[in-house]
Chains A and B, each alone.
Chain A
Amino acid sequence: MPRKPQLICPAGSLPALKAAVDRGADAVYVGFKNATNARNFAGLNFTDQQLTDGIAYAHRHGREVLIAINTYAQAGRVAEWRQSVDRAAEIGADAVILADFGLLDYAFHTHPSLRRHLSVQGSATNFAAINMAHECFGVSRAVLPRVLTLPQVEYVIKNTPVEIEVFGFGSLCVMAEGRCILSSYATGQSPNTHGVCSPAGSVRWETDGAQMKTRLNDILIDQFEDGEPAGYPTLCKGRFAVEGDTYYALEEPTSLNTLSILPELLKIGVAAIKVEGRQRSPAYTAEVTGTLRAALDAAGDAHYSVKPAWQDALTKVSEGHQQTLGAYSRPWR
């Protein structure tokens, strides 16, 4: 029987970290309060003291804390990113999650005993890329971008000694992570440079009669009729006109949900399943962690099936209340 994957859960605050630990996460991933991580939102993330407390709490319960330092170090400010890696090592993080090859090189040479994971923002979609990160920086785990089918994930796993982590639940980037600068095209800030996508500071909610218009740096991303629930203007999830048709030209607001394929993910040998959502509330972290814990514990069972209660729990916290298997099954393929 294949080894059960680790469950990796998001925390944007100390209460969320504790909730993840309490509800059964094997590891919690977090970020510092600065531009070094890809969820650099106001009011989110950890001070050094909160992280020290969080790591102590997790370790007391036999769980791990992984620190995401997964934006790209900006020229002239490389020291900020390096200091974040140094701090992660000092306060006893179990691993750092990095994307920048300059920073990986630094971490490998400066903190060889600090485990290094290749972030999804590193855009490594094939075993050649992952094996290079392993050979050059001793990367022990890689998080795959959400663009591969199940057979493609399996092919990567078979051709690398590096542990493979995949996304199991959460908001869906339809673009390859680390390969999308739509946000800076519209606003000047992107995940790679500022750790943000469609940043809140550029958003305007505008009422026009009964209509609600959502804008990003004045660009109309979507408009909603009276009674239609208005979503956050993430720019790849807006409605646009292409040759006279107005529709979700790139992607509907939707969440990835892999409950139905957990047995396959176990079978092909993924080492860890990650939940997206450091920007979400502690209640979200608790709900999703508890549900995926129960599902993962059952997924090795020959009679596994998705329990309606799990599905209901995840539907409630899904973006747009819609869910998809994303690239794993590619209904559009």
Chain B
Amino acid sequence: MQLTLGPNLYYWPRAQVFDFYAEVAAWPVAVVYLGEVVCSRRHEVKSADWLALGTELAQAGKQVVYSTQALLESASDLQGLRRLADAGGMIEANDLGAVEIARKAGVSFVAGATLNIYNGPALDWFAAQGATRWMPPLEAGRATVAAILAETSCAIETEVFGHGHLPLAFSARCFAARHYNLKKDDCQFKCLEHPDGMPVDTREGQPFLRINGIQTQSAACHSLYDDLAQLAGIDYLRISPQATHCREVVAAFAARLANADARSDLAALHPQGLVNGYWHGQAGIATQPNL
């Protein structure tokens, strides 16, 4: 099993993005997913920049995949994607419209988690359209993923979401703009002030959700760090970028994959808690000790 670095879900200043990926070139990840997947208003890094970053990372030996937005709404959203496909890059399709563009362009693609592949026949269908790798829905646990793979007849690589705040929902509404009483079209790019999103607590102070523009995430960090021994049949494990400690997290996973006895205290890096309930067939917010 190899590590991948998922697309950055947050909105960071341009310089921070470039600094981050300059470091990533030396990290122990086999695949790097690039691109803006959350909001078409985010433009610190443009399509051409992503392609240039991709070229550099490919030269550093990484497989580069361009991830698409999870909610393609406008004509310009679709056009931007066609340009990426035409440039010959491998794409991660996070929307059915992206699948259509990939299959028409004849490029292979990664079927993203939001394509809602919950059974073998569905996975077979996406594979027939050109998917060479897929990510199960984030709510699918170990038993579900195994059941899907057991009833599929295609050969396809499987990647699971291994560490990060779970992207749980997508909306037309921007909850960051809402928080600041701004209109979405005049959001003043408030997301730039929240490099790991904005925590949402219950009125009893329980960390619950996390606002990231139009996306709603888990407050806690989902982590399969203690479940690595149970990932048979999984080809890739995704680590989702965070503004802080991302290098340590990647290093910790790499060390433990190399040596099952390696131990890092990831909980200390995540004050809103670590959860892994989804992987164990429970509520995502649950924590299942697995030591």
Point out residues on A near B: beta carbons under 8 Å: 72-76, 78, 99-103, 105-106, 122-129, 131-133, 146-148, 152, 155, 174-176, 178-182, 184-188, 190, 192-193, 217, 219-223, 236, 238-243, 245-246, 249-251, 327, 330, 332-333
- A190–B199 CA distance with the chains assembled, in angstroms: 22
Q: Does B124 contact A (CB under 8 A)?
A: yes
Query: Which one of B55-63, B230-238, B280-288 is at the interface?
Result: B280-288
Q: Does A180 lie within 8 Å of B168, measured CB to CB?
A: yes
Minimum CB distance partner of B205 in chain A: A241
Question: How close is A38's CB to chain B, nearest CB, in angstroms?
Answer: 13
Total count of chain B residues near the partner, CB < 8 A:
72
Given A100-B116, A123-B96, A241-B200, A182:B172 Cβ within 8 A: no
**Which residues of chain A are near B172, meaning CB under 8 Å?**
146-148, 176, 327, 330
- Between A and B, 25 residue pairs with Cβ closer than 8 Å are A74-B119, A74-B144, A76-B147, A78-B151, A100-B118, A100-B119, A101-B125, A124-B96, A125-B95, A125-B97, A126-B72, A132-B100, A155-B74, A175-B169, A179-B71, A180-B170, A184-B284, A186-B284, A236-B169, A240-B202, A241-B200, A242-B211, A249-B175, A327-B172, A330-B172
**Which residues of chain A are near B175, meaning CB under 8 Å?**
249-250
Q: Does B25 contact A (CB under 8 A)?
A: no
Q: Kindly identify which residue among B95, B148, B184, B200 contacts A75, using a CB–CB cutoff of 8 Å.
A: B148
Minimum CB distance partner of A249 in chain B: B200
Summarize A's interface: helix, strand, loop or mixed. mixed
Q: Does B183 lie within 8 Å of A181, measured CB to CB?
A: no
Q: Does A332 lie within 8 Å of B173, measured CB to CB?
A: yes
Q: Does B108 contact A (CB under 8 A)?
A: no
Q: Does B95 lie within 8 Å of A73, measured CB to CB?
A: no
- A236–B232 CA distance with the chains assembled, in angstroms: 35
Given A75-B119, A219-B285, A330-B172, A185:B96 Cβ within 8 A: no
Q: Does B118 lie within 8 Å of A72, measured CB to CB?
A: yes
Give me the 3 closest cross-chain CB pairs, A-B, nearest first.
A102-B122, A102-B121, A129-B96
Q: Does B118 lie within 8 Å of A75, measured CB to CB?
A: yes
- A127–B184 CA distance with the chains assembled, in angstroms: 23
Question: How close is B164's CB to chain A, nearest CB, in angstroms?
Answer: 14
Q: Does B171 lie within 8 Å of A102, measured CB to CB?
A: no
Q: Does B137 lie within 8 Å of A181, measured CB to CB?
A: yes
**Which residues of chain B are near A333, meaning CB under 8 Å?**
183-185
The 8 A CB mask of B260-291 against A (1 = contact, 0 = none) is 00000000000000000110011111100000
Point out residues on B near A: beta carbons under 8 Å: 70-75, 77-78, 95-101, 103, 114, 116, 118-126, 137-139, 144, 147-148, 150-151, 166, 168-175, 177-179, 183-185, 198-206, 208-209, 211, 216, 218, 277-278, 281-286
Given A193-B139, A242-B211, A249-B175, A219:B206 Cβ within 8 A: yes
- A259–B282 CA distance with the chains assembled, in angstroms: 42
**Which residues of chain A are near B169, meaning CB under 8 Å?**
175-176, 179-182, 236
**Which residues of chain A are near B101, meaning CB under 8 Å?**
128
**Which residues of chain B are near A152, meaning CB under 8 Å?**
73-74
Q: Kindly identify which residue among A181, A217, A219 contacts B139, using a CB–CB cutoff of 8 Å.
A: A181
Q: Does B179 lie within 8 Å of A332, measured CB to CB?
A: no
Q: Does A332 lie within 8 Å of B71, measured CB to CB?
A: no
Given A128-B100, A179-B70, A330-B184, A99:B203 Cβ within 8 A: no
Q: Does B116 lie within 8 Å of A192, measured CB to CB?
A: yes
**Which residues of chain B are near A105, meaning CB under 8 Å?**
121, 125
Given A73-B119, A175-B169, A330-B172, A122:B96 Cβ within 8 A: yes
**Which residues of chain B are near A74, meaning CB under 8 Å?**
118-119, 144, 147
A76-B151, A129-B100 given; 20 more Cβ-contact pairs under 8 Å: A73-B119, A75-B148, A124-B97, A125-B95, A126-B73, A128-B97, A129-B99, A181-B138, A181-B284, A185-B166, A186-B283, A187-B283, A193-B118, A223-B203, A240-B201, A240-B209, A241-B200, A332-B174, A332-B178, A333-B185
